[in-house]
Structure 1
Amino acid sequence: MITINDIAKLAEVSRTTVSRVINNSGYVSAKSRKRVMDVIEETGFVPSQHAQSLRTKQTKIIGVILPKISTDTSSRTVRGMTDVFEKIGYQILLTSTNLDKKKEIEHLKLLQNRQVDGIILIATNTDRDLIEEIEKSKVPVVVIGQEIVGKPRIPSVVFDDYAAACSMTELLIEKGRRNIGYIGVDTSDRAVGLLRKQGYLDVMAKHGLDVQKEWIQTGDFSIDSGYEAAARMVEASTEDIDAVFAATDRMGLGAWKYIRNRGLRIPEDTAVVGIGSSETSRFIEPALTTIEYEFEKAGREGAETLLEILQGGKKVSDKKTLDFKLESRDSL
């Protein structure tokens, strides 16, 4: 087995010079660097990752905590991170909380024990216990999807959820819809549960439109919960619902299914819209009107923010807000 000492002898340089070339640290003359690289290429030498970690105190591994590993949102966000990390030799270690808030804290601790260089958390809540755990973390943490309000030392990458919900509600009203129901999630999720709901309510109030309490229902992100929420809404309402606005595409797909099963036409009788621009939303007929988020970009921004911290570069801003695009399709 070829070692660094062997490379040093063959290249006629010191062991330190070889180490500097491999780790890209410290000064090495162009001539010596070329000799070392030539020998490495000729011998097929591969540096030990473990040995490099001991020297640099870096593992070149980034921990990523996902709310659910199988969703379109998660896969697209991870794809964006991978685009950044793979180019510079970092690997990703994925964990999934399966939408369990307690596991977000457990996985933060778990990944630190695995000695990752940093952590990216796609968060579903911003409660005090989670914030305290992030602040105690031994490695830098970047949050995607939730703003950590009042905590500038915890950088985040977010979408403008409030503005997105406002835009969608405005479009529904512009299209002549007045009895607009809303399917959200628990408000402990500030981005999806609180801000999107508030955008809907504020626009309805701005236009002087009443909202019956039965028109606001809560799901759990799943398609089934969207179906059940739409059923509760329509069956309890004293007026005909002419639009259902779901806070996510998956719940929107459930509402879409319920409306069709009830024998109502989409969009003639009832419009159905969502947020997220999932792949499935494009292929149903009629296709789901939605808000498109660039999840790949969120992944890239989160990765680049974490790298800036790890490399000790310029001051990192506490929040990056990404834009959105309204995709008007056949369901409205």
Structure 2
Amino acid sequence: MITIKEIAERANVSRTTVSRVLNKSGYVSEEARKRVQKVIEETGYVPSEHAKSLRTKKTNVIGVVLPKISTETSNRLVKGMDEIFAKEGYQILLANTNLEPEKEIEYLRLLKSRHVDGIILSATTINPSLVEEIYNLNIPFVAVGQSISGLTNVILDDYQATKDMVDFLIQKGHKQIAFIGVDERDRAVGYLRKAGYLDAMRENNLAVESTWVQKGEFNVESGFECMSQILGTSEKQPTAVLAVTDRLAIGALQRIKESGLSIPEDISLAGMGASEFSRYVTPALTTIDFSIEKAGREAAALILRKIGGENDHGMNITIPYRLIERASVQ
């Protein structure tokens, strides 16, 4: 394997000149640059990433911790990040917690030991142990989806988006609106979206039946079961149902159909997340588009600025959303 010293000898330049050409830094005359590049092309020299990282103290790798790597949301988030990182020569090292909060700390420590240049975390929940671990990282860090005090966060407006969806249903004439949520330890999707629903109902002086509010998990089957509870235990039937994810809404849709009811004639249905399949179910699902790819791009841009030495002293970047009206609501 050819070395920088050998390239320098063949090109009749110093090793410093070769390093400057390889790293694209420092002054090199055009004539010398061409001689070095010619030798590199003739020999097929590929610089060692390990050696380069030792010299520059950078690996050009960003660690990204995700709650569930197989979901469409995670895929869209990473897609947005990669659009930015690829242009700047960075690679992504993914870690999947599979919705197990204890793995978040484990992966943060592992990524730090791998000397990544920065870490982006999409957390399942926020707890004191996790926050302490993040503060002890001492490397560039950005959180996505959850807000951590004093740090840089890219967040979705879960609360207001949910209120807007409930207000939309009310404007359509619905007063009996059920809700399918998730565990409130997930502050963004669990707590804030439920709070948006309850506040919208309260502000419009609408009653909430206890059996209309169900808690599920992040899957279609759970939406089916929650809808069964709403239909089977309520004294009166809601005219509309809001689920905090499209997956939950799809499960609810199937249960409503199996009960012999029609959507939207008997029950209107709305989800959140604008998943790809939300437009292909029958009827197509009314939902909220949170611009997940944009959140990924914003997080990537922020972490690169931090790596470059910019100190934002912690801030929240809120990504805009839009309500998509489709045939599942009348």
The percentage of counterpart residues that share the same residue type is 52
For residue 8 of structure 1, report the CA deviation from its aligned partner: 1.1
Report matched runs for 1:73-222 at 5 Å: 73-148=73-148, 150-151=149-150, 154-222=151-219
Asked whether 1:18 is paired with 2:18, we answer: yes
- Specify the code of the residue in structure 2 equivalent to 1:100: E
Q: Secondary structure at the match of 1:255?
A: helix
- Post-superposition Cα deviations, 1:139-195, rounded to whole Å, max 9, x if no partner, equal 2221111111x31xx211111111110110011111111111111111111111111
Report the counterpart of residue 46 of structure 1 in structure 2: 46
Is the Cα contact below 8 Å between 1:308 and 1:316 reproduced in 2? no
Q: Secondary structure at the match of 1:245?
A: strand
In the alignment, which of 263, 275, 279 is matched to residue 278 of structure 1? 275
Q: Secondary structure at the match of 1:110?
A: helix
Q: Secondary structure at the match of 1:260?
A: helix
- Cα distance in 1 for partners of 2:171, 2:111 equals 48
Report the counterpart of residue 308 of structure 1 in structure 2: 305
Report the counterpart of residue 242 of structure 2 in structure 1: 245
Report the counterpart of residue 33 of structure 1 in structure 2: 33
- Cα distance in 2 for partners of 1:30, 1:161 equals 54
Report the counterpart of residue 230 of structure 2 in structure 1: 233
- Cα distance in 2 for partners of 1:124, 1:176 equals 35
For residue 28 of structure 1, report the CA deviation from its aligned partner: 3.0
- Cα distance in 2 for partners of 1:29, 1:229 equals 70
Q: Secondary structure at the match of 1:94?
A: strand
For residue 314 of structure 1, report the CA deviation from its aligned partner: 6.0
- Cα distance in 2 for partners of 1:34, 1:143 equals 44
Unaligned runs of 5+ residues in structure 1 are none
Between 133-142 and 319-328, the greater mean CA deviation after superposition: 133-142
Q: Secondary structure at the match of 2:295?
A: helix
For residue 316 of structure 1, report the CA deviation from its aligned partner: 6.3
- Cα distance in 2 for partners of 1:62, 1:302 equals 11
| Cα 1:186–1:303 shift into 2, 3 Å | same
TM-score (norm 1): 0.95
Is the Cα contact below 8 Å between 1:183 and 1:217 reproduced in 2? yes
- Cα distance in 2 for partners of 1:294, 1:32 equals 48
Between 117-126 and 276-285, the greater mean CA deviation after superposition: 117-126
Is the Cα contact below 8 Å between 2:152 and 2:312 reproduced in 1? no
Count of aligned residue pairs for this structure pair: 329
- Cα distance in 2 for partners of 1:11, 1:312 equals 35
- Cα distance in 1 for partners of 2:294, 2:191 equals 23
Report the counterpart of residue 59 of structure 1 in structure 2: 59
For residue 222 of structure 1, report the CA deviation from its aligned partner: 1.0
In the alignment, which of 305, 319, 324 is matched to residue 321 of structure 2? 324
- Specify the code of the residue in structure 2 equivalent to 1:26: G
Between 83-92 and 21-30, the greater mean CA deviation after superposition: 21-30
